[in-house]
Amino acid sequence: MNLKKITKKDIGNLLNQWSKDYTIFVPSNEGDTAEFRVLSSEFRGGGEASILKTPNSVPNLDWYRNTVKPLKASFFPPVEEMFRFQKGKEGHSIELPSQEHQQLIFGIRPCDGRSLRLLDNIFTDTYQDPYYLPRRDSAVLVGLGCLKPYDTCFCTSLGISPGESEDVDLMLTDTGDEFLIEEISDKGKRLMELTAGLEDATEDDTASAREAKGMAQSKVTREIDTQHLSHRLLSCFEDEEYWEKVAAKCIGCGICTFLCPTCHCFDISDEMVKKQGARFRCWDSCAFPLYTKMPMENPREEKWQRVRQKVCHKFEFHPMSFDVIACTGCGRCIRLCPVNWDICQTLAQLPG
Ligand code: SF4
Ligand code: SF4
């Protein structure tokens, strides 16, 4: 594997170079949270200096742990126009959205890198999603080791290491004043070949990176027991009393599903004025009773049924279809839940 390095003060130049071919997204400070935003033009012109000064829309690597909105939003946006339509004498005409720029997303945490691999299962299973897949195919993912995991993270229980990733194209590790850069995919290799100004990494650099990754791994202290999880969930599926207890404090706000990097429920609606309109796809949530409401019945009328669905989908149904748990242990659903509902606690208290 080709290993390179770059000093932190040169990261700006690296991003400027890449911005000639890609629209660059970086973790930017929004109040005291981080969100992926398009790299600002001031930063492009400003060279290396602004990286640690933290103006808006520059990578703010000092405090950044993970974004609130998950990476899925860059490939499967919260609201997206699928096409516009117009009714004419000859019937309807359709106008498809214009081609988007290629995205290079910088600073992806390993758990979020994995979430895209899990979403690929969904968007390529019974159909090839024409909106998600072109974005996914053209994007370059640049990972950044997560050296200060939150106490709500449990990625290691799901086979993910906070310092490493097989799910991105390039992986960076903070080694102090520098980043070690590893090529992970062919796409990453091509990008490295076209990038000027990188130095070869030394033995000392790889040793520092190894140490940083080991430290990160040891900081993830939360765990879930994934042994026989599908079976344990199956055996208590009909236990209404248990699920009512589990769901008792949930207020059904849907935050945990909107912000989960692997949840993918959506709704489709048409907005029309006179003879023209547009069809939209919007995130939806199994936490809402309307999501499953049908003319004659609602199979998930009760809150406990919806909470059970959320848990079982990730840990029982997705593994049945794709042989992998649909959770990355990112901990967003724990950190961001307004009533501190905790998925780890639910799994730990499963009967049997
Ligand atoms: S974020 Fe918490 S309260 Fe809201 S739906 Fe999820 S578990 Fe329930
Ligand atoms: S269920 Fe929670 S911990 Fe698992 S991927 Fe979704 S938000 Fe992250």
283 has which bridge partners?
266
User: Which residues lie with the beta carbon below 6 Å from any ligand 2 atom?
Assistant: 260-262, 314, 327-333, 343
Nearest CA to ligand 2 atom 1: 327
Query: Which tokens go with 158?
Result: 């799901």
Residues 6 or more apart whose CB falls under 8 angstroms from that of 40 comprise: 55, 56, 57, 58
Q: What is the pLDDT along the chain (352 residues), one digit of tens a residue?
A: 779 999 988 888 898 899 899 999 988 877 778 888 888 655 444 433 333 334 444 455 656 789 999 999 999 999 999 999 999 888 889 999 987 789 999 999 999 999 999 999 999 999 999 999 999 999 999 999 998 899 999 999 999 999 999 999 999 999 988 999 999 999 999 999 999 989 999 999 999 999 999 999 999 999 999 999 999 999 999 999 999 999 999 999 999 999 999 999 999 999 999 999 999 999 999 999 999 999 999 999 999 999 999 999 999 999 999 999 999 999 999 999 999 999 999 999 998 6
Q: How far is the CA of 80 from the centre of ligand 2 (A)?
A: 23
Task: For residue 293, report the distance from its CA to the centre of ligand 1, in Å.
Answer: 20
Which residue, by CA, sits nearest to atom 4 of ligand 1? 253
DSSP per position, 318-341: HHHHHSS-S-----HHHHS-TT--
pTM of the model: 0.92
pLDDT at residue number 61: 63
Of all protein residues, the one whose alpha carbon is nearest to atom 2 of ligand 2 is: 333
User: By the 8 A CB rule, do 337 and 255 touch?
Assistant: yes
Cα–Cα distance for residue pair 177/7, rounded to 1 Å: 6
Question: What span, in angstroms and rounded, lies between the C-alpha atoms of 42 and 40?
Answer: 5
* Residue 270 Rama label (left phi>0; alpha psi -120 to 50; beta): beta
- C-alpha closest to that of 261 among 161, 156, 112: 112
Measured in Å, residue 260 CA sits from the centre of ligand 2 at: 5
For residue 76, how far is its CA from the centre of ligand 1 (angstroms)?
21
Which residue, 3, 20, 336, is CA-closest to 201?
3
Query: Which residue's C-alpha comes closest to atom 4 of ligand 2?
Result: 327
Query: What's the chain's length in residues?
Result: 352
